[in-house]
Chain A
Amino acid sequence: MSYPADFKYTKEHEWISVDGAKGTVGITDYAQSSLGDIVFVDLPKVGDKVKAGEIFGSVESVKAVSDLYSPATGTVTEVNEELKDAPEKVNADANATWMIKVDLENAGELDSLLSAADYEKFIAEETGH
């Protein structure tokens, strides 16, 4: 499992990579691995508002549905349409497979997210390893 150091992480297992006022969001390697084979990704539309800590979509494996929580507040500018027909890309490379891009309203709120090191520590505690 790998967690790029330049991403920020939520405790609900999403990552965000920030470039100025633009954020790119996906789910972590840990999330894809615990979900198993991903068969369905439900994402918002371009122009939709997302709010930090709130649900913006869902991802489904054969066995289960999992909500997606937004790491940041803002407006969706792009949605990864590829995932409609190829949701398994998330399993293949969770760090390189983004879900939505967001115009950030307040880049400052990202400070409360976890660093890669803190996220790894968080998973270790959660799974008891």
Chain B
Amino acid sequence: MSEIATPLRKTALNSVHRAAKAKMVDFGGWDMPVEYSGLMAEHLAVRTAVGLFDVSHMGDIQLRGPGSLAAVQKLCMNDASKLQVGQAQYSAMLYPNGTFVDDVVVHKLSENDYLIVINAGTREKDVQWVRQTIGGMPGVHMNDFSDYYTQLAIQGPKAQETLQKLTPVDLGPIKNYWFTWGQVCGLYNVMIARTGYTGEDGFEIYIPSDEPTSTRVWNEVLEAGKEFGIVPCGLGARNTLRLESAMALYGHEISDTINVFEAGLGRYAKLEKGDFVGREALVKVQEEGGPKRKLVGLEMIERGIGRDGYPVFSLTGEKIGEITSGSPAPFLKKNIALAYVPTEFSTLDTEVAVEIRGQKVKAKVVPTPFYKRPKK
């Protein structure tokens, strides 16, 4: 039997990545660059200078109309009524049992107008979920704008200086998780957000997704960042950067089998804001004394690298959990991991053992995030 191959989806920058000889991989059905010059160099460039990522595979759902706030409030666990125009917030859409449909960033574009940025691998599922959940609500119009934008992430301590060369908008006053619109590379009304997924300062810009425009802006950003040592980065570095910063990745730290409190994201669930999908289940988890397992940071103390899916044991040999993401941390130069363990093993400095190809290797529970960017 031969498998019927589904053609991989491509962003508008696909031929740019291929021409630059980036290593390409199938990422959730998308043909994406995993590495350009090398994961390590790309990771370090973002921590110390600036890196450029194509994140156009991310999806964008817009909710508009007089009922849009009520719709966002029902769909997402954070309190969108606290948002001002031009502000974004980390949030999540939940199933009724308190587990994750997806984690999202909600942007308030104007009164009665919200943009929800969703993950690539969950796009179709998310769009369907939104339709189904708010379908019966009055005064809300939904649009899937996922294919309309090329989304570029410019990340690192030199991100602002790089982007500033390409826009008349004064980027300095834009606070973390705020955004504005302005001219970028001669394009009008580009959304410029101070957001990212690297634990570093940086911006994400949303430009039209036609190939010539996307290619031109990509190249102009690289040219502008040249003096700061900019490098184009792949999803490999994006993953190690977010892991050092202990940010969740759908299908790893969060999924439809993990609830908000287990994932340590309770601070983003505003139970007091009124009803939302998943709220009841979360209240019940709290009433029953909190989660039975928790996401913890691990650092390997013996020689070895714990990786995604490796089992975690107590020092007495009992299997207690599993690593959700594990990797060498290029900036910290340690082998780190995130793992679910029973609450009684979640105290800092608790020693556990990770099974690496049949061998038990010691690790200990450490504070997260593993990396925190220095305050300016």
Contact = CB atoms under 8 A, between A and B. Distances in A.
Nearest to A65: B307
Interface in A51-65: 58, 60-63, 65
Interface residues of A, number: 11
B357 interface: yes
A40 B305 contact: yes
Contacts of B86: none
A39 B328 contact: yes
A62 B330 contact: yes
Nearest to B39: A62
A63 B305 contact: no
Interface in A16-44: 34, 36-37, 39-40
Contacts of B40: 36-37, 62
Contacts of A62: 39-40, 43, 236, 240, 327-328, 330
B182 interface: no
A37 B327 CA distance: 12
B35 interface: yes
Contact of A63 (B236, B304, B357): B236
A63 B35 CA distance: 10
A65 B304 CA distance: 11
Nearest to A60: B305
A40 to B, nearest CB: 6
Indicate the member of A61, A63, A65 with the most B CB atoms within 10 Å.
A63
A37 B307 contact: no
A11 to B, nearest CB: 21
Contacts of B39: 36-37, 61-63
Interface string A62-77: 1101000000000000
Interface of B: 23, 34-35, 38-40, 43, 236, 240, 304-305, 307, 327-328, 330, 357
